[in-house]
Amino acid sequence: MRIVVVGSGVSGLSCAALLLRAGHQVVVVTAHPVQRVTSHLAAAVWFPTAAGPPDAVARWGATTYDVLAAEAATGVPGVVMRESLSLLREPRDPDAPLPDWADAVGRVRPARPDELPPGYPAGLRYAVPLVEMPRYLPHLEATVARAGATFVVRRLERLHDVLDLAPDVVVNAAGLAAGRLVDDDTVFPVRGQIVRVANPGLDLSVRDEHHPGGRAYVHPRTSDCILGGTLDAGVWDTDPDPAETAAILARCTDIVPALAGAEVLESLVGLRPGRRAIRVERDDSLLPVPVVHDYAHGGSGITVGWGCAQDVVRLVEAEGP
């Protein structure tokens, strides 16, 4: 079939890649070059964040973990397995169940006392994929182009605006714009501010989801570290807040003292597409051709992207156009 995929972030490109692999013709419609999509700004570490429903996120996340782990093993640009530490603010009962996400990750062990920063009584150690989006997204775009996809740069007002491209099916993976294109007023922005600093020699991702100053995470990349961050639901402002930058630096230095004095390279803001539940479903009534939705991944785009894309292919092929 001839499939029009709307969106060139990690979700849209993942859908395009799997649809091409399944033998379909693909046209990717994007309002912006890949360097300007929200995915390009993402800290992009596998970890379920601000997304539901839990059962589906667990399934999509497990699939995506396996895909990214395989890409890391084969040297796909920008993908590595990163040793990680989740900090806990209370001592952990050895008999307590592990978090739900641990089923996808494999080996999760208690952190040793010498692995914990001052003031933390416990933590969990594990390895998850880390994706450097400025390297990975261009690679994924090039892979899709080599496989035969056509790219059309066009800003859409409604999803109907792609019908002139003669699709058999349309995939709506337009991120925050996806709701506007189909009058889904349950979609909202989730503002995320991060800080990029020079890497002082770190190779361990560290996070404290319950820091009193706000969520804190430190993700080392090849030559920098991404520090975060905020989850401000319903906020459209994309200007970095200097006070928030200072707060992020302070709480990230709490959890990784080696960051003290690290050179600040820039502060960035992105708007994640939020919704009560990720929408992956087929709609046969919206357009004259079927529409398959894949949007509202919240802070979990890199965590669920390949799993959602597999479902998109299944839905595209469920009954035919």
From the options 3.40.50.10610, 3.30.9.10, 3.40.50.970, 3.30.230.10, give the CATH code of 82-129+188-274.
3.30.9.10
Peptide bond into 175 cis (omega under 30): no
What is the per-residue DSSP string for 74-114?
TT-TTEEEEEEEEEESSPPPTTSPPPTTHHHH---EEPPGG
The residue type of 117 is: P
> What does the DSSP assignment read for 247-276?
HHHHHHHHH-GGGTTPPEEEEEEEEEEE-S
Q: Domain 2-65+133-187+275-316 is in which class? A: alpha beta
Nearest of 228, 311, 313, 279 to residue 51 by alpha carbon: 279
CA distances from 26 to 145, 246, 268, 304 (A): 10, 44, 32, 22
Per-residue pLDDT of the chain (321 residues), as tens digits, is: 999 999 999 999 999 999 999 999 999 999 987 766 655 566 789 998 878 899 999 999 999 999 999 999 999 999 999 999 999 999 999 899 999 899 999 899 999 999 999 999 999 999 999 999 999 999 999 999 999 999 999 999 999 999 999 999 999 999 999 999 999 999 999 999 999 999 999 999 999 999 999 999 999 999 899 999 899 999 999 999 999 999 999 999 999 999 999 999 999 999 999 999 999 999 999 999 999 999 999 989 999 999 999 999 999 998 655
Domain ranges for the chain: 2-65+133-187+275-316, 82-129+188-274
What is the CB neighbour count within 10 angstroms for residue 318? Answer: 11
